[in-house]
Amino acid sequence: MGCMEAQPWRYNMTDVSMRQMLEAGVHFGHQTRFWNPKMAPYIFGDRSKIHIINLEKSLPLFKDAVNFIGSMASNRGKILFVGTKRSAQEVIKEEATRCGMPYVNHRWLGGMLTNWKTVKQSIKRLKELEAMSDDGTFERLTKKETLTLTRELEKLERSLGGIKDMGGVPDAVFVIDVGHEKIAVAEAKKLGIPVIGVVDTNNSPDNIDYIVPGNDDAIRAIRLYAQGISDAVITGRETISVGTAGDDFVELSEDGGVATKPAAKKKTAKKTTVKKATVKKKTTVKKVAAKSDDKSTDTTEAKSEAKEAKPEAKEAKPEAKEAKSEAKEAKSEAKEAKPEAKDVKEEKADKGDES
């Protein structure tokens, strides 16, 4: 058992071979008079005035593209499938639906990526019409209103049905014919979105991040590309559940699988912490109960002292009353003494007059 750094995602390419590419007609290019000189490194030669693509270069380039798509899918990325030409419409829809990715297979609307806010409003309108058709609102309308809304729903479903659940700008774009989808390639390049494109001998490989030289007209060849990309997405999504969360290093067993012992240790540690927490709760409850008992004893003692103080207060009340009566008698004596003092003063005054 050893500890090694997690390796980047790799897709198993045993399902796609050079013989399958030959049988699908991937090696057939366009007529020599329509060729693009920038595709010269990927051309093997010509036969009957038709260029032959070198599959020894196409296969490893397709492998690189598939590995990139798988790594994007393993990181929860969104890959947009684009193929609006007649030979690619059904295949793109089937394979994108199989792997749960958005797609455009009817017509590329200008600004579908660069003007996403406006496209989002159209998607909102599409979902409103779908809700109206599901809850029976169309049945309560007149024939003319139902017909107009149905036509609007069909038009929006054709153009935006494949991207209504995309939720935002995709992380990568897979294009079947880069010449036919040049607007999509230009918008993706403007936003910095990587483009994986099937490039034939009559198109330019410029602005394509992952080039797949091959036939972009044959249905069997298109299905081969789309199936490889779709399988890579599905396999990449499956690796999300296997990966460990928040660990830079993965511990491997002797067989090469991911070891599960560290995870078990973490779980047991969590259980012990829970037990400690329950013990702490019990001790705190006991302390609170003890405090409540102390408080109850203190309150009973205070009540008994208050009862003993009540008769003492009653005995003090008549004493206060007696003190009040004595004060009143002293006041009356003082009043009687005042006229006697006045008589003495008058007698002294009379004696002074006689003298």
Report angle CA 94, 95, 98 to the nearest 5 degrees. Answer: 90
CA–CA separation, 158 and 161 (whole Å): 6
| 274 found inside a domain | no
Q: Which two tokens stand for residue 109?
A: 């609307």
- The contacts found for 317-326 with CB under 8 angstroms, 24 or more apart, are none
What is the pLDDT tens value at each position of the chain, 355 positions in all?
344 333 455 555 447 889 999 999 999 999 999 999 999 999 999 999 999 999 999 999 999 999 999 999 999 999 999 999 999 999 999 999 999 999 999 999 999 999 999 999 999 999 999 999 998 888 888 999 999 999 999 999 999 999 999 989 999 999 999 999 999 999 999 999 999 999 999 999 998 999 999 999 999 999 999 999 999 999 998 887 565 444 444 444 444 444 444 444 444 444 444 444 444 444 444 554 444 455 455 555 555 555 555 555 455 555 556 656 666 666 666 666 555 555 545 565 555 555 4
Report angle CA 233, 236, 241 to the nearest 5 degrees. Answer: 135
One-letter amino acid at 326 equals E
Domain of 180? 17-113+169-242
CA–CA separation, 251 and 258 (whole Å): 6
Query: By C-alpha distance, which of 34, 32, 46, 165 is closest to 97?
Result: 165
CA–CA separation, 212 and 62 (whole Å): 5
Residue 85 main-chain phi, psi, to 5 deg? -75, 155
CA–CA separation, 174 and 73 (whole Å): 13
Query: By C-alpha distance, which of 187, 221, 206, 211 is closest to 85?
Result: 221
| 330 found inside a domain | no
Beta bridge partners of 46: 51
CA–CA separation, 271 and 265 (whole Å): 10
| 49 found inside a domain | yes
| 89 found inside a domain | yes
**Buried/exposed code over 44-73 (b: 16+ C-beta within 10 A; e: otherwise):** eeeeeeebebebeebbebbbebbbbbbbbb
| 79 found inside a domain | yes
CATH number of the domain where residue 195 is located: 3.40.50.10490
| 306 found inside a domain | no
| 127 found inside a domain | no
Structural domain total, the chain: 1
10 Å Cβ neighbour count for 285?
10
| 46 found inside a domain | yes
